[in-house]
A and B are shown apart, each in its own frame.
Chain A
């Protein structure tokens, strides 16, 4: 019992240390902007998820190291492993929202669907660069969703535009080989509408998660003999699809992937045999020589602080996309700071910033992304900001652009977007904002 005072003293010291730690955390939090980074570095989708995560995290590190943060405000982040599973993604979000994040990038359309209602209540911006709900472009209903730089409906429309250049589509057949998930199903309404309008037949071939077994699917492709195959896959499904296409002698030149089916991990397992395979891009491919890449090497990799295991990953397609996704977040914060002052922002302020982005060619060049990002101008009406892309083709060793810039036909898509958004608003009892009154 004579040691009781020692235990009490130790407990008091621990409590004091804990208190100081918590106070320091709170102080740090008040000086930093917190961003949760939902990633998948393990599991079936890791080969595609990891380079995106590396690019995203590296860009945040670069902004902190090179610029001292966003206008002096550092960005704090924490990774959470989702394994591309919706339930784990929601769990990550719930766990990290106590740290008062301003925005979240879930890198999964399934998780995006699950979080859409939650973020509006929690006042956290849901940034989905190149994925998510296509109808969330309509900011009057989806105030907190930002599907920057292109939706799946844009991609579907641009792919049809591209194949239409090769000849009238009337009487032709297009097969959609898609991941049987909210992501894979997203382009179907647009492709069905386009099929009706242009007179082609759409054959839908779902592939169940994770897509390692596709023999039956490609035997159907062989039997149906479509003129084109659109591939809407992710992870191992993409490389398996290309290998199965080879196994049934389907010409790779007639295959077109969405931008999540057009990166190095998708074609490398087949290498030369994948030659001629095409994919739509969001305006960037595997550029490695832009100023942002040079900065990445100089400020991070040369100092051993890069996230990727190998610095050769810097500039790969998915690394670039992760970097661009983080850049859109940083520019949204900057945009918010231009109105509210150069300080730590709240979610509501960053939402305003994301809705008032104006990245013209000069600004894009100034931040080191010249030729990788199309000019972006967001508004209450358009949370996407840009709806352009071009085709890149695998030559057996690398990707190269093989089309001019394409622009999704907003005259065709906008009524569909508004109808879908209106339906969502009615289901969820949301009163749409009047965009003409938004400033």
Chain B
């Protein structure tokens, strides 16, 4: 498939998705307010998926490693914070939890990545698998495996908007709105960091070629510590938001699985891709569950996200915004 065909197919796919998203309302299956509630709910979920996907993209961008341990890092960060909060104020606990995540980044670089410099991507991926199991186990050994309540003052009750215009109004979860704003701010800050700072440019250079980056004096070890630290801090923010919604518990790390179709769709190296991918996946899975679910027996949102990602993969293997990989022969 040449580049024009591919662009044409991608446009067609996006148009089909847009039509699919509007279909329930246009066909009269759903009223506008109900449809809008589902769309808003999907977009809010999507922003949260983006937040986890962002951690994956950061590490992949800087080191070419698909970090399977991102979910375990989310859980570990949240567990550390919530258990420390039992003994100290939130701000102090947050600062210590952030330091712990930086310490983990340093340890991962020292003990796992450094001995594996210039190894194949699959070797590094397998190493992160080991890191995931280790962090997962040690987290539960140190902090326990109960459900811990994390209350950071997020509003739990929703707001009903336009009650006079539409019967029953339009429900908006304020917790989701605040989470989305935090996630959006974080994404913006990271985008600036990557584009506008020297360290950000060094990170991108390392992502392009480890050896070339080293040859021009970029300290690989330090860059990896930085990127794993940033990823750890993103995991902490994701852990706080998801932990506040679900309670801090083992299942938080399963949320990371939601980030996989997001990065497939958005591209492994693109921050805007992670955002747009998250929104498409969030929107797609909610609309499919509510409007297609009843026809297919329900419970389809999990696999629907992967099917959506698979369709994109067939048309555009590098994702919407991913870098096209060209091998010279």
Residues of A in contact with B (beta carbons under 8 Å apart): 41-44, 46-47, 50, 180, 204-208, 210, 212-213, 215-217, 219-220, 222-223, 235-236, 239-240, 243, 246-249, 265, 268-271, 273, 309
**Given A47-B145, A223-B34, A206-B156 contact (CB < 8 Å):** no
Interface residues on B, range: 35 or more
Which residues of B are found within 8 Å of A213, using beta-carbon distances? 45, 258, 285, 301-302
Q: Bound state CA distance, A326 and B30, in angstroms?
A: 51
CB closest chain-B residue, reference A265:
B147
| Beta-carbon contact of A240 and B290 below 8 Å | no
User: Closest CB of chain A to B280's CB: distance in Å?
Assistant: 15
Closest CB-CB distance, B199 to chain A, in whole Å? 35
Is the Cβ of A216 less than 8 Å from the Cβ of B254? no
Instruction: Select which of A42, A217, A239, A273 is within 8 A of B147 by beta carbon.
Output: A239
CA distance A239 to B250 in the complex (A): 13
* Residue B245 CB within 8 A of the other chain: yes
Q: Which residues of chain A are within 8 angstroms of B146 by Cβ–Cβ distance?
A: 47, 50, 265
A239 to B258, CA, bound (A): 19
State which residues 131-176 of B face A: CB under 8 Å. Answer: 140, 144-147, 149, 156-158, 160, 171, 173, 175-176
CB neighbours (8 Å) of B317 from chain A are: none
Which residue in chain B gives the minimum CB-CB distance to A50? B145
B129 an interface residue at 8 Å Cβ cutoff?
no
When distances are taken between beta carbons in the complex, the residues of chain B under 8 Å from A217 are: 289
- Pair B171/A248 contact, Cβ less than 8 Å: yes
CB distance from B297 to the nearest CB of A (A): 7
Q: State the CA gap A216–B290 with chains docked (Å).
A: 6
A53-B301 Cα distance, complex, nearest whole Å: 32
5 contacts between A and B (CB under 8 A): A46-B145, A248-B158, A249-B157, A268-B247, A273-B156
- Asked whether, in the complex, the Cβ of A205 is within 8 Å of the Cβ of B144, the reply is no
Contacts of B255-312 to chain A: CB distance below 8 A = 255, 258, 285-286, 289-290, 293, 297-299, 301-302
> A215–B34 Cα gap in the complex (Å)?
13
Majority SS at the chain B contact face = helix
B residues in contact (CB < 8 Å) with A: 30, 34, 37-38, 41-42, 44-45, 140, 144-147, 149, 156-158, 160, 171, 173, 175-176, 245-247, 249-252, 254-255, 258, 285-286, 289-290, 293, 297-299, 301-302
- Least CB distance from A347 to B in Å reads 33
Which residues of A sit under 8 angstroms from B302, Cβ to Cβ?
208, 213
| 8 Å CB contact of A222 from B30, B37, B245, B252 | B37
> Are A206 and B298 touching (Cβ within 8 A)?
yes
Closest 4 CB pairs of A and B: A269-B247, A216-B289, A206-B299, A206-B298
CA distance A207 to B299 in the complex (A): 5
A268/B147 contact (C-beta < 8 A), A212-B251, A215-B286 known:
yes
CA of A412 to CA of B302 in the docked complex: distance in angstroms? Answer: 37
Please measure, in the bound complex, the distance between the C-alpha atom of A220 and the C-alpha atom of B247, giving whole angstroms: 23
CA distance A247 to B37 in the complex (A): 12
Q: Please determine whether A210 and B254 come into contact, CB atoms closer than 8 angstroms.
A: yes
Residues of A within 8 A of B157 (CB): 246, 249
A236-B249 contact given A213-B301, A216-B41, A249-B171, CB 8 Å threshold: yes
Q: Smallest CB-CB separation from A203: which chain B residue?
A: B294
| Residue pair A269, B41 in contact (C-beta under 8 Å) | no
* Cross-chain contact B144 with A216 (CB below 8 angstroms): no
Q: Which of the residues A47, A50, A216, A247 comes within 8 Å of B286, measured between beta carbons?
A: A216
Distance between Cα atoms of A180 and B297 in the complex (Å): 10
Q: What's the Cα separation between A246 and B244 when bound, in Å?
A: 14
Residues of the A chain whose Cβ atoms lie less than 8 Å from the Cβ of B38: 216, 219
Which of the listed residues B44, B145, B157, B293 has the most CB atoms from chain A within 10 Å of its own CB?
Answer: B145
Which residues of chain A are near B41, meaning CB under 8 Å?
215-216, 219
Question: Cβ of A208: which chain B residues have Cβ within 8 Å of it?
Answer: 299, 301-302
Minimal Cβ-Cβ distance residue in B for A271: B149
Q: Measured between C-beta atoms, what is the minimum distance from B205 to chain A in Å?
A: 37
Q: CA A50 – CA B250 in complex, angstroms?
A: 13
For the complex, what is the distance from the CA of A44 to the CA of B256, rounded to whole Å? 14
